[in-house]
Amino acid sequence: MSATATQATSAAAHIEVKDLTMAYGSFVIQHDLTFTINHGDIFIIMGGSGCGKSTLRRHLNGLMAPARGGVLYDGTSDWDSPAVEQAGGEQGWGL
């Protein structure tokens, strides 16, 4: 993919997950997840019992801090935002 196409994808992205590692203490659930959800996308999380679906959702909606990596909403990390704006509080979206 060209640099221009990558920049266009990033500019249109509503949610970007970059190198996300999800863990409970030292127990790693998933590691190095990277994906983009653009405006208007329908995004489905599927998998077997205990594979991390609910944990991923907790990270996406700001209930759990990442062990590593991050989740960006319109280019901004939820964990760098004031508490009132975290988890979509004043951003006009929800999960």
Please name the residues in contact with 17: beta carbons below 8 A apart, sequence gap of 6 or more: 33, 34, 35, 36, 59, 60, 69, 70, 71, 72
pLDDT in tens, 30-88: 999 999 999 889 989 999 999 999 999 999 888 899 999 999 988 888 777 665 555 55
Please name the residues in contact with 28: beta carbons below 8 A apart, sequence gap of 6 or more: 21, 22, 67
In the predicted model, is pLDDT for residue 8 greater than 90? no
Contact assessment for residue 60 and residue 16, using Cβ atoms and an 8 Å cutoff: no
Q: pLDDT tier at 2 (50, 70, 90 boundaries)?
A: very low
In the predicted model, is pLDDT for residue 6 greater than 50? no
User: Can you give the pLDDT at residue 92?
Assistant: 59
Q: pLDDT tier at 89 (50, 70, 90 boundaries)?
A: low
β-partners of residue 13 are 38
Please name the residues in contact with 1: beta carbons below 8 A apart, sequence gap of 6 or more: 9
